[in-house]
Amino acid sequence: MSFINKSQLGIYAPKASEKAAIGAEAQTIIKDALSTYKKLYYGVRQVAWQNRDKRASFMDAKSKGELEEFIIAPGCRQDDGSYSKDEWDYQQLNKYLWERFCTHFEDTFGLERIQELTKLKDLLAVTEELLSVALDEWGNRILERIEDESLESLDSVPRYTTDLPNGIRIEADFRNPNKRTIALSAPNFSNIPDVLIEQMRGDTCWQGRIYFDTAGATALTSKSAKLLGEMLELAAKLNNGIKEFIAAPDFFLGLESAQARKRNLQRVKARLLEINENKLTQRQVEAPEKQATRRINEAIDAAENADPDEFEEARNQANRIKAQNPKPQQPQPGKLKRRAATLDEVAEWMERNTHLLGMESDIDAELGITTVKQSPKRRVTEADRE
């Protein structure tokens, strides 16, 4: 018979304490994984919203009768027989379209459902799935390089060469900062001319052209003519999507290997986290100014809609709110002022440099000063003056 109830020792037992520490660490890892998923979720949502088909989304909602309440005045027939455009409450309309988009997005990715997951394995799997969808649907947009016309760096892809399954060879050269060249050839067909894409940097944008030399071309067979057509079609695609091609050549051409896809998934993840962080920083900066603007607008609306007897008071209230929420101003640089030395600093300097002043004795005693003010905040008393 045992008189010791080991279970009562609880977390004070080394074994139990170790299990508790492991459990706490696991919870921290799970929270970090969930936090990462949320950041990726909002990053993808931002990209999807910015790159949506605005007309298609508007017409879809309109065809389902969801926008009737936002029409202020429907279009009417004019003197020339045409109809004027509908007048919309765009503020409320845009708000509704945003909320409609968020509902569709949430139904697709299910952030609320994801937050119920308790296993790290499940969270990592759903994160991988989110990144895969983002890469497949918006990969070109997410990985697109932001081109700065004043300074552009293409060191990541200076040269690129690959052979496509259909027999077309691509050779790209981006080492010249002012010129881009992409050559398309068919090594297995001697009678097919090379197609060359050449883009030159202009004053405001890149100017591209597509050309090929037909001098040495002979009669084409049906097979070679079809391949030449594919080369020209690919040349047009590359010329129009040059930035996406430079950012991710294999992905742009649909040649993604398992290793390349893994690498692109990591690039998408890093870019989405950056997009989310930038948006969060922007919102934090704009929040105080937006709140002030909203309060001012609400006060102005209240004054405009007030009864004649209450208009004066409503207008005064609007002016008071406007005064309390002034437009933020950029600080103006002022003149530099020399800092005045305190008495403590003066006394300390004189004590250290009495030889410069020709005074080796006690200066305070000679001047009849019995106390020295120790702080600029202390007022000099009548006794000090005496």
In 3D space, the residue among 108, 125, 127 whose CA is nearest the CA of residue 35 turns out to be 127
Q: Judge contact between 21 and 13, C-beta under 8 A.
A: no
Q: How far apart are CA 10 and CA 149, in angstroms?
A: 66
B/e letters for 88-108, b = 16+ CB within 10 Å, e = fewer, are eeeeebeebbeeebeeebeee
DSSP, res 184: E
Q: How far apart are CA 249 and CA 242, in angstroms?
A: 9
Q: How far apart are CA 367 and CA 386, in angstroms?
A: 11
Q: Judge contact between 98 and 91, C-beta under 8 A.
A: no
| Length of the chain (residues) | 386
Q: What is the pLDDT of residues 15-43, one digit of tens each?
A: 666 666 666 777 888 889 899 999 999 99
Q: How far apart are CA 382 and CA 292, in angstroms?
A: 52
In 3D space, the residue among 229, 234, 237, 242 whose CA is nearest the CA of residue 181 turns out to be 242
B/e letters for 4-27, b = 16+ CB within 10 Å, e = fewer, are eeeeeeeeeeeeeeeeeeeeeeee
Q: What is the pLDDT of residues 129-157, one digit of tens each?
A: 999 999 989 988 888 754 443 333 333 56
Q: Judge contact between 136 and 47, C-beta under 8 A.
A: no
Q: How far apart are CA 211 and CA 327, in angstroms?
A: 56
What's the confidence (pLDDT) of residue 28? 85
Low-confidence ranges of the chain (pLDDT < 50): 146-155, 335-337, 372-386
Contacts of 186 (CB under 8 A, 6+ apart): 167, 168, 169, 192, 224, 227, 228, 231
Long-range contact pairs involving 61-64 (C-beta distance under 8 Å, separation at least 24): 61/96, 61/97, 61/100
Q: How far apart are CA 225 and CA 101, in angstroms?
A: 46
What's the confidence (pLDDT) of residue 23? 65
